[in-house]
Structure 1
Amino acid sequence: MKKRVLRGLLALFLIVNAFFLPVISLSSAAYAPINQNLTVTADRTYPAVSKNNLEIYTYFNKIAASPYDKETNNCKIKSEKFAKYLVSNGATNVYHVQIQYKDNVQFHECVEWQGKIYDPTIPVYAMNENKYFNLIKSYGLDGLKFISPYS
């Protein structure tokens, strides 16, 4: 009798969840799909530049798709390219974010713009700060965080 009840509950659970699977949108934080023409939605827009701008999203993906090289195309260089692009297109409140590795020697760098994180190395596009910092802990990045304005 218990097995039959448990099977019934399990079946009901699976049926209900099949109809109510969560929908993930790019605005709620996702990895930026590379080389796909998707419309990026945002929580809010800003003068001169908006996160909805497909050109910005496309440029971010171009940087993200470029091969990582420790000397010539590392996280610092990729992030600087994206920050420079944002500022040259009128964006304000653009910041460099450096996060220290557990070894307390190395750092990882990404960009913060209007309260969202953009990391062309992982890649992450417009992710909430808390979600991003929780994500990168799995990469050993849980040390000090330095945030400075890009200029």
Structure 2
Amino acid sequence: MKPVPAAVPVTAHAAADACNVVRQSITHCCALDHHHDAAILGTWLANKTPENLAAWMAAPGAIAWGAYRGDTMVGFALWARSTLALCYVVPEALHQGVGRALLFGAEAHARQLGLAAVGLESTRTAEDFYRRHGYEPSGALQVWAGLQARPMRKAL
């Protein structure tokens, strides 16, 4: 097994790499969510552009982390508006601790902010991952453009 890369803070300068991670992960790892339906996948990916990622990363209160193998970003997470907004890993880095490192980085940030809990909206694909790390459903299932998002929360 490859060593687990640490989650390191990244700025909007890494937006193109982050966008690549997010788009690869959605396309190749989230089939349980999009079922290879081109319309659903297209809608999900439509706002996943380097420009949007840069704006999200530069927003007030946002912090982003990247996980790298050498110079290649293999995972990306974004904290925004007091929630974990994004957490994605490229297919070749799945089940190697990359997602866990990103998640723990976000949780550490939440603790530094003095928050009592971390909230997020999980895809179907990621729900078991979050449950394994102590997250529980915390609201009604959200449905949008053929996709489902499960609000989840973990007390810190």
User: TM-score, normalised to structure 2's length?
Assistant: 0.29
Structure whose alpha-carbon radius of gyration is higher: 1
